């Protein structure tokens, strides 16, 4: 079996070091920046069974996966989560739970700890109850704060994730202060990427460049103040950077996502790209999908890169950027990522940025993640 080495970094040595299991797309929240598919409700009846997920875990471990994220939707919606965590722990995975905190009772947290869960990433949208609840479309703020308290009380390493957009970017300082008081070790401010629900709401969600720079200044002040007490990540949106992100460290390099229905993907967004042959673990061995399938080989490495990427001195840093973003903004996944200032399509990103900076006569309502929020006709256009 050939080893994919050209262009791989971190060095994964051709192994899917990071495994992401999207156990379900079900979720009690209605976030307007959600990365789940627009037709998420269609997947509920297709979810893998407990035994099928266990087979995925065994197969992924056999091909070299080391770190595992249980995610969704909301993974706590699965009643078998503890059983899957225990199985993964027994196989030697370092297990992470990526959660909104809704449904994380003390009883369940203790069960997850007994099962071998190693780390929890909790999302929190703001320090202010009214804003959090409005953003996620549910009475969630108090539940999230209680989940954070329980996570720390029971000794879990915790990553606090704050998705950043226009509505909450000016609260970053407040969030750091609150997290420091709780004893959070890691906090990530991730300016959202514009796919799926976020792309639909981009004009309303995207902060201005001035807001991003001010937030970066606040982050640096807190880094100096807190020192090694807290690690603060601040992910600047590539719309403002002039260079694309090294998406997933390269297509099919170290990241493997399994969707609720068993489809294996190089990232959780890949199914937005039409014309690709997606394989399910129900039909094909996971090892074959990772190493041999046309899907994972399609944009793996560097040889496929178009110009100007192919001759770019930075191609081993960004791997040509994001294929999903290239498709969503240009209509062709093989195009240069428009986030790059050297891309012939960069004007598309510049237009979006200019639109955010321009004064609006009115604000559009945000489209919330909910069944029926997007019509079939809209998705086919």
pLDDT value of residue 172: 98
DSSP readout, 291-357?
HH-HHHHHT-SSTTPPTTGGG-TTHHHHTTS-HHHHHHHHS-TTSPPTTSTTSTTHHHHHHHHHHHH
Residue 324 is assigned to a ligand binding site: no
Burial class (CB in 10 A: 0-12, 13-18, 19+), 259: buried
Predicted TM-score (pTM) of this structure: 0.91
Q: Which fold has domain 16-238?
A: TIM Barrel (3.20.20)
pLDDT value of residue 370: 81
Segment 252-261 shows an average pLDDT of 96
Segment 120-149 shows an average pLDDT of 96
Q: Which of 198-207, 272-281, 349-358 has the highest mean pLDDT?
A: 272-281
Decide: 53 and 21 in contact? Cβ < 8 Å. yes
Instruction: Quote the CA–CA distance of 214 and 192 in Å, as a whole number.
Output: 17
pLDDT value of residue 44: 85
Mean pLDDT of the chain: 91
Every domain of the chain and the residues it spans: 16-238
pLDDT value of residue 235: 87
Instruction: Quote the CA–CA distance of 324 and 250 in Å, as a whole number.
Output: 12
Segment 124-151 shows an average pLDDT of 96
Residue 247 is assigned to a ligand binding site: no
pLDDT digits (tens, 9 = 90+) for 334-380: 999 999 999 999 999 999 999 887 776 556 778 778 876 654 433 33
Please give the helix or strand (H or E) that residue 286 lies within, else none.
helix 286-292
Residue with the larger pLDDT of the pair 371 and 250:
250
Decide: 56 and 105 in contact? Cβ < 8 Å. no
Segment 319-329 shows an average pLDDT of 94
Q: Strand, helix or coil at 188?
A: strand
Burial class (CB in 10 A: 0-12, 13-18, 19+), 375: exposed
Residues in the chain: 381
């Amino acid at each position: 079996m050939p080893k994919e080495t050209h262009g791989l970094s971190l060095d994964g040595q051709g192994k899917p070091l990071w495994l992401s299991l999207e156990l379900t797309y079900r979720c009690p929240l209605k976030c307007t920046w959600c990365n789940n598919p627009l037709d998420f409700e269609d997947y509920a009846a297709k979810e893998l069974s407990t035994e099928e997920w266990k087979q995925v875990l065994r197969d992924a471990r056999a091909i070299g996966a080391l770190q595992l994220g249980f995610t969704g939707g909301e993974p706590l919606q699965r009643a078998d989560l503890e059983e899957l965590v225990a199985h993964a722990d027994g196989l030697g995975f370092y297990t992470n739970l990526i959660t909104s905190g809704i449904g994380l009772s003390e009883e369940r947290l203790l069960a997850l700890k007994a099962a071998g869960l190693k780390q929890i990433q909790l999302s929190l949208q703001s320090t202010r109850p009214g804003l959090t609840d409005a953003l996620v479309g549910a009475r969630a703020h108090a539940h999230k704060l209680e989940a954070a308290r329980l996570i720390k009380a029971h000794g879990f390493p915790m990553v606090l994730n704050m998705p950043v957009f226009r509505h909450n970017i000016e609260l970053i300082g407040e969030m750091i202060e609150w997290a420091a008081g709780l004893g959070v070790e890691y906090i990530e401010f991730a300016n959202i990427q514009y796919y799926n629900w976020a792309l639909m709401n981009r004009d309303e969600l995207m902060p201005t460049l001035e807001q991003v720079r001010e937030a970066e200044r606040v982050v640096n002040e807190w880094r100096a103040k807190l020192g090694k007490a807290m690690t603060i990540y601040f992910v600047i949106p590539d719309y403002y950077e002039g260079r694309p992100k090294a998406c997933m460290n390269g297509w099919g390099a170290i990241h493997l996502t399994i969707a609720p229905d068993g489809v294996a993907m190089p990232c959780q967004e890949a199914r937005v790209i039409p014309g690709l042959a997606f394989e399910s673990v129900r039909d094909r061995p996971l090892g074959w999908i990772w190493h041999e399938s046309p899907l994972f080989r399609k944009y793996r490495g560097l040889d496929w890169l178009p110009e100007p990427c192919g001759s770019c001195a930075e191609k081993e840093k960004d791997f040509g950027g994001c294929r999903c973003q290239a498709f969503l903004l240009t209509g062709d996944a093989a195009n240069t990522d428009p986030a790059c200032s050297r891309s012939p399509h960069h004007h598309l990103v510049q237009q979006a940025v200019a639109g955010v900076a321009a004064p609006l006569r009115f604000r559009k309502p945000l489209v919330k993640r909910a069944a029926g929020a997007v019509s079939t006709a809209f998705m086919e256009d």
